[in-house]
Amino acid sequence: MNKENQEIERKFLIAYPSAQLLSTCRDVSKITQTYLSAPPGITARVRKREWPEKCEYTHTEKRRMSDMRRLEFEQEISAAEYAEFLKSADPGRNPVHKKRCCLLHDGQLFEIDLYPFWQDRAIMEIELEDESQSVRFPPFISIIREVTGDKRYTNYAIAKHLPE
């Protein structure tokens, strides 16, 4: 399925969630994200997302419109297409491995990304309908600070600074 839409997202650096909190998450998956060589102004990637019972592959291209808003084109691809895209991997960036835990709180869906190189913190994201929408944070999440617009906390930047 091909999908083009505007993505409005806020991102937060949080204290590493407790095992008890993580046990309440739904839709837990392992993600491998590989950035591709792309023209200036476009971020391209392929993603392999694994659950115990299935595996999905997607190709995504994003164009930044503001700190919170991006134009996103995403399509599901086959395992063979994924392998073909990997041949165009950006040589200056390493694949990003993370565990994603989805948490529904007060009608809002939060995605918590746990990285193997951080034991004390994680990244939590929420997609919004519009930039002025309020966020109702789970009271049991310890927010260190908002990092929306801080490029150091994008997966694209993380991929550049990961050890091989």
3-state secondary structure of 81: helix
Beta bridge pairs of residue 14: 122, 143
Q: What are the helix and strand counts (H, E) for the chain?
A: 3, 9
pLDDT tens digits, residue range 62-119? 998 887 788 999 999 999 999 999 999 999 999 999 999 999 999 999 999 999 999 9
Domain holding 17, by residue range, is: 2-161
pTM over 0.85: yes
pLDDT tens digits, residue range 18-46? 988 888 898 899 999 999 999 998 999 99
Q: Which two tokens stand for residue 156?
A: 């694209």
Residue 158 contacts residue 90 (beta carbons within 8 Å):
no
Q: Residue 13: give its domain's CATH number.
A: 2.40.320.10
Q: With 80 as the cut, is the pLDDT of residue 4 above it?
A: no
Q: How far apart are CA 91 and CA 37, in angstroms?
A: 8
Position 21 scores a pLDDT of 86
Q: Which two tokens stand for residue 129?
A: 């309908």
User: Based on the structure, what is the number of domains in the chain?
Assistant: 1
pLDDT tens digits, residue range 109-150? 999 999 999 999 999 999 998 888 999 999 899 999 999 999
Helix or strand holding residue 152 (H, E)? none
pLDDT tens digits, residue range 46-66? 999 999 999 999 999 999 888
Q: Which two tokens stand for residue 96?
A: 């990003």
